[in-house]
Amino acid sequence: MRCGPQVDLASPDAAETLAAGIRGADFVVSCLGNRRGEQPVVAKGTAAVMSAMAKSGVPRMAMISSMGIGDSGPQLRRGGFGGWIYTCLFATVLRHVKNDLSAAEELAIGDNNKRPAGVSCVVVRPAGLSDAPGDGSYQVARADGTVGTSVAREDLARFMLTLATDQTYDNSAVSVGGNAPRVYGKR
């Protein structure tokens, strides 16, 4: 396992730099995310990663998104009051994040054939993330199913690593949740 180079996604040679860093890999895990107060980077970064994959012959990747994006809006609301709150936040304060994640998902699994030939992707939509220690338990469902409202980051990572060999969800989205306690920043 290795980490790719730090890359300025606004750079015109971002895909070339990334391609050099992932050459020889079988699978890419993309955990791009947006920071408060900064320009959205997920869609732009996803395009650069997929271009780099095509250039270097890496066939598969998994990327982080969020429950509530794409067709998982109803799934988020089925999570109860908290899901409704996040639905409202995505429609207002976090709409730029939602738009960026939606654009990234469209690039990765959309019907418009924007994904480079020979590249497949799994979009992983976690429910609420918890900093509680992972215990190996989590639920996985497509948008029409139900998962728990909080998943430990360790368990989400554990699931994403299973995707390196499991092609069940290739070119689609899957939500991951659990019953992890709501612990943030405490390890």
The DSSP annotation for 42-81 comes to HHHHHHHHHHHHHHHT--EEEEE--TTSGGGHHHHHTT-H
**Tens-place pLDDT, residues 1-50:** 455 557 777 677 888 889 888 999 999 999 999 888 888 899 999 999 99
Report the percent of the chain where pLDDT is more than 90: 58
Q: How far apart are CA 42 and CA 30, in angstroms?
A: 9
pLDDT of residue 156 exceeding 60: yes
Domains of the chain: 22-177 (3.40.50.720)
Averaged confidence pLDDT in the chain: 88
At residue 1, the pLDDT reads 46
At residue 2, the pLDDT reads 53
Q: Is the pTM of this model over 0.75?
A: yes
At residue 5, the pLDDT reads 56
Instruction: Judge whether 114 and 107 are in contact, CB under 8 Å.
Output: yes
pLDDT of residue 150 exceeding 70: yes
Mean pLDDT, rounded, for 90-105: 88
Mean pLDDT, rounded, for 137-149: 92
Mean pLDDT, rounded, for 50-58: 95
111: which 2 tokens?
Answer: 């019907």
Mean pLDDT, rounded, for 164-182: 93
Sign of CA pseudo-dihedral 90, 31, 145, 81: negative
